[in-house]
Amino acid sequence: MTPGAHGPTLIGRRRERERLSRLVASVRGGESRALVLRAETGLGKTMLLDHVAEQATGCRVVRALGVESEMELALAGLQQLCAPVLDGLEALPEPQAMALGVALGLRSGPAPDRFVLGLAVLSLLSHAAESRPLICLVDDAQWLDQASAQVLAFVARRLVAESVGIVFAVREPVDERFAAIEDLVVRPLDDADARTLLGTVVGGPVDTAVRERIVAEARGNPLALVELRRGAMEFSPAPVAQGRTGVSAKLEDGFRRRVERLPADTRRLLLLTAIEPVGDPTLVLAAASALALDTSAFTPAVEENLLELGARLRFRHPLVRSAVIASEPASDRRAAHRAIAEATDPQQDPDRRAWHLAESTIGFDEDVAAELVRSADRARLRGGIVAAANFHVRGAELTPDRQMRSRRMLMAAEDTLRAGAMQNAQRLLDRVEPELLNAHQQARVDLARGHVRFYISPGRDGAAMLLDAARQLEPFDGDAAMVTYANAFIAAVLAGESANRVGIPEVAHGILAAAPATPLTPGSRAALEALRGLAVLALDGYGPAAPTLRTALAALRSLDGDPEAERGDSDPMRGYGADVSHEVGAMRWLPLTCLVARVLLDDAAYADASAEFVAACRRDGAFSTLAMAMSEHYPILLMSGRIADAEELYEGTREIMAASDVPEGPDRAGWFAAYRGDDAAKHESAAAVARRVAERGESQWRLSDVLHGGVLHNSRGRYADALAATATAEGHPFDIGLAAWVLPEHVEAAVRAGAPEQAAAAAARLQEIADATGTDWAVGLATRSAALLADDRDAEALYRTAVDVLGRTRVGTAEARARLLLGEWLRRQNRRVEAREVLRVAHEQFVGFGAHAFAERAARELSATGEVVHRSVVGPVDELTAQERQIARLAATGSTNPEIGAQLFLSPRTVEWHLRKVFGKLGVTSRRQLAAALKESMVPAG
């Protein structure tokens, strides 16, 4: 490339080149790297990507380009990147091969799960890198379609040891879709480098004042320097005030002036090229022929260095594309779109054809609108929910009939809601004219509005809106009404006593009055029974409600595999049903199942249902409910002693939540800190919690904060602090599950702080729950609390009963704490030998859980019995990261690397890389030794 022919050369840029060279070297060395190049327009992102390609000798390089007009087409960017390596598709595990094949239109099948699709792309790139390292370059990534951006960002964050490098080039400001990936901000050139670059592109002498004006106006932007030099002789030494536009607008104006000087036929050819984003010469030439344009008209644009001809038609810079489009009148743009649409094969690429037809249409056109709706259906089947919404929006805009227009806009809002884009869904709902819809469709509008409010701010009037929508749905769709009643109840529970319009009693009365007019599926019948039980609980307490709740829980848990329960609604106008996340089957009842299991303190049902809930959200790509699923599952993981698994779930979900605008909810760090006993961990202050509760109206989360405060302070023996933290739970109205977790903390804190009278009321409430539910978890907690209040004659029997009963549950931390309390009581009775045996087991349990503060508390008690505790023996497993522990446990149970990778969304090579580190830390040489090493390294010496 000669100076001045194609643009700026890489002058300067030492910092950027060194960083990119290190990336290439790491990939060659067997590691993986991902990097986001961030820069303003014209600073040379594309040239830096070209530099990477030039440096990547011995590597395979694949490229993709984000194009603004392609953003509406689902997975268009992913198609570009994966196409050169699709020969490895059949080497993937079948679920991954199916997901990727369906997404790219190579296979027929159900809409792919976003997580499996991401894993499939990761595996595909990893497989391609087995023969030689792979470098993936994605230019103008800010213009990738949403589905492609989500998948590629997901992959980039999971690259570890695959010999794969991904470099995204994005314009400033930062694209949040690529958050949490290492970035490199490309800076403007300094004045010295700017003058050097200007000297390479100006063919003759330039007046010093003019040169300095160019350098000053370009502000270190290489493309601006090159473009401004074209008019260098037109500058006068006198300063000119900066206009209202920035460098990008100035550059685009310059390109537009150059385009406008071209012959008319050249401009028309450039326009065809600009609106055909793939740069397919065959397609552009076919469209040109239809418009009677001779391809020789390309020559002036090539000579002007605006366009490169080759296997792909490529503009010198994206700003040239936008300048071409901006320079032509709307009528010419529509004609060009029409020509491209007619040249596009309706069988091979119907969606791109439909989009071009839409762009060529002015006013209303039902035929084109119907084609767009069909494209929306196809996009949804490929997993492109955002693209489906965009097709529906454009189809609605072209629909001549106002009623049908509102129906299609409602479908667009529903798709947007499924994708988790709540604010966008609200804007689309505002464009619906409900008065033109029938009563059922109006109910769907209110339902969608209620869901938006529920997910954005559950504690405000979400319960009221959902309750109203449920009542409206009853005459038309009893199943939808039941799901909506369930969500209304959950919204009211989250709001607690802060519900300012409709609270739990109002929702409870609405549920008891429900009388669906249509037949219910088995799932809906079970849900109605559960909802009636919850309503009775809210109004009359545990005693009257528990029998109904137990029956309903059994019915809900029996739904899996029931064909009728799994029945979906095939009418696309009613496909939204009532649940924005799960359109079929028992999955839609999992939030309700979790709530009922939590209320009954049924640990097995709660653990299983919450795990299924998370898995269902991942499988369906249901961002809007993933936060709720996580908030149900990680507490039972923590209480079971699986602290590392809970943290891994949380961390793995955070990046997924970043892909939607659904609020994450409360800070989770305090929970993990509490169960680890980590005072140093950063978590929300009481004032911050109060502000968040006030902002979102979610009183239930105050109990969440109370709980982890109680656990943390009790674990460290700070009983007065624990009592102060848990006092606000006493007398909390509408006990819907969470308070039952707080009450044992309050009892222990009050007894140990010398305030047994404060513990009595909480213990009585626990006993009421235990008597009503009869579950081991509830009985064990009540018995443990009763033991703390009992005199010495009764305490031992109660403690031992609590240990036995809780030992039958999955709530390992509750059992270990009962054993710790028994050991402490035995030591105070001077029964040191018996105490030592009990405390040793408790200590081992806490060490295995990673509950360090409780382990220290048990160690102090052991020391008081005369036993020497050698804590240093616990080292190897403590050295493992949370992810390494997960991988080690899965490998120890016989899972293969691909199986582990599928569970943790890692490539098999990354799993193998982690296992090598695990082997080194644990001092083992094979998988067969893992189980013993994991167990032995956690047993303290006595």
pLDDT in tens, 836-871: 999 999 999 999 898 999 999 999 999 999 888 765
Q: What is the pLDDT of residues 573-623, one digit of tens each?
A: 233 333 333 333 446 788 899 999 999 999 999 999 999 988 887 666 566
Asked if 32 and 108 sit in the same domain, the reply is yes
The pTM assigned to this predicted structure is: 0.69
Residue 27, in any domain of the structure: yes
- Within-domain flag for 77: yes
Higher model confidence: residue 921 or residue 840? 840
62, 167: one domain? yes
Alpha carbon distance 536, 542 (integer Å): 8
Q: How far apart are CA 865 and CA 833, in angstroms?
A: 7
CA distance 623 to 618: 8
Read off the pLDDT of each residue in 490-495 and give the average, rounded to a whole number: 79
Q: Is the pLDDT of residue 68 over 70?
A: yes
Which stretch of 291-305, 800-814, 905-919 has the lowest confidence by average pLDDT? 905-919
Distance CA 724, CA 143 (A): 52
Structure tokens at 709: 């405060």
- In terms of average pLDDT, the best of 400-409, 554-563, 860-869, 925-934 is 400-409
Residue 683 domain-assigned? yes
Where does 174-236 show beta strands of DSSP type E? 183-185
Tell me which of 166-175, 188-197, 422-431, 452-461 is least confident. Answer: 452-461
Predicted pLDDT of residue 500: 42
Asked if residue 68 lies in contact with residue 61, where contact means CB atoms within 8 angstroms, the answer is no
48-62, 616-630, 889-903: range with highest mean pLDDT = 48-62
- Final residue before a domain boundary, out of 215, 240, 265: 240
What confidence score (pLDDT) does residue 247 get?
64
Same-domain pairing of 36 and 90: yes
Confidence (pLDDT) at 501: 47
Where are the alpha helices (H) located in 4-67, listed in sequence order?
Answer: 14-28, 45-55
Domain housing 57: 14-185
Residue with tokens 């006990």: 735
Share of the chain above pLDDT 70, in %: 82
Cβ atoms of 927 and 891 closer than 8 Å: yes
The reply to whether 230 and 160 lie within a common domain is no
Q: How confident is the model at residue 682 (pLDDT cuts 50, 70, 90)?
A: very low
Decide if 476 is inside a domain.
Answer: no
SS3 34: strand
902 vs 812 pLDDT, higher one: 812
pLDDT at 215 over 50: yes
Q: Which of 309-323, 633-647, 691-705, 754-768 has the lowest mean pLDDT?
A: 691-705
> Does 804 or 177 have the greater pLDDT score?
804
Say if 157 falls within a structural domain: yes
Confidence of residue 498 (pLDDT cuts 50, 70, 90): very low
* Same domain flag for 930 and 910: yes
- ∠ CA(259), CA(264), CA(268), 5° rounding? 80
Looking at 823, 852, 869, the residue that finishes a domain is 869
CB-count exposure of residue 539 (10 Å: 0-12, 13-18, 19+): middle
Per-residue pLDDT at 637: 94
Same domain? 181 vs 227: no
The helix/strand/coil state of 264 is: helix
Separation CA 358–CA 178 (nearest Å): 30
Structure tokens at 350: 């119907």
Asked whether residue 44 carries a pLDDT value surpassing 80, the answer given is yes
Q: Using pLDDT thresholds of 50, 70 and 90, give the confidence band for residue 536.
A: very high
pLDDT number for residue 610: 94
Calpha distance 887→891 (Å, rounded):
6
pLDDT tens across 105-147, in order? 888 887 787 778 888 999 999 999 999 999 999 999 998 988 8
**Pairwise pLDDT comparison (82 vs 647), residue with the higher score:** 82
What is the per-residue DSSP string for 117-153? HHHHHHHHHHHHTTTS-EEEEEETGGGS-HHHHHHHH
Pairing verdict, β 314-315 and 307-308: antiparallel
- What is the pLDDT of the chain when averaged over all its residues? 82
**pLDDT of amino acid 499:** 38
Q: Does 862 share its domain with 912?
A: no
pLDDT of residue 174: 64
Whether 485 has a pLDDT exceeding 80, the answer reads yes
Same domain, 830 and 861: yes
pLDDT at residue number 509: 92
Gyration radius of the chain's alpha carbons: 32
pLDDT of residue 689: 55
Q: What share of the chain in percent tops pLDDT 90?
A: 43
Alpha-carbon gap, residue 669 to 931, rounded angstroms: 29
Residue 878's pLDDT is what? 60
Q: Are 72 and 145 within one domain?
A: yes
Map 709-766 to HEC letters: HHHHHHHCCCHHHHHHHHHHHCCCCCCCCCHHHHHHHHHHHHHHCCCHHHHHHHHHHH
**Residue 434, SS3 per DSSP:** helix
Last residue within a domain, chosen from 825, 847, 869: 869
Q: What is the model's pLDDT at position 134?
A: 96
Unique residue bearing structure tokens 């379609």: 145
Backbone angles phi, psi at 138, to 5 degrees: -120, 105
| 180 and 219 assigned to the same domain | no
Q: Say if residue 912 is in the same domain as residue 803.
A: no
CATH number at residue 30: 3.40.50.300
Q: Domain total for the chain?
A: 5
Confidence of residue 332 (pLDDT cuts 50, 70, 90): very high
How far, in Å, are 45, 661, 825 from residue 157 at the CA level? 21, 19, 49
Token pair for residue 90?
Answer: 């059949």
- How does pLDDT run across 160-211, given as a tens digit for each residue? 888 999 999 998 766 678 877 899 998 888 778 777 777 776 655 555 666 6
Does 327 have pLDDT greater than 50?
yes
pLDDT band at 242 (very low <50, low <70, confident <90, very high): very low
Residues 39 and 169 in one domain: yes
pLDDT at residue 203, rounded to an integer: 57
Q: Within a domain: residue 487?
A: no
Q: What pLDDT band is residue 40 in, cutting at 50, 70 and 90?
A: confident
Q: Does residue 285 form part of some domain?
A: no
Does residue 912 form part of some domain?
yes
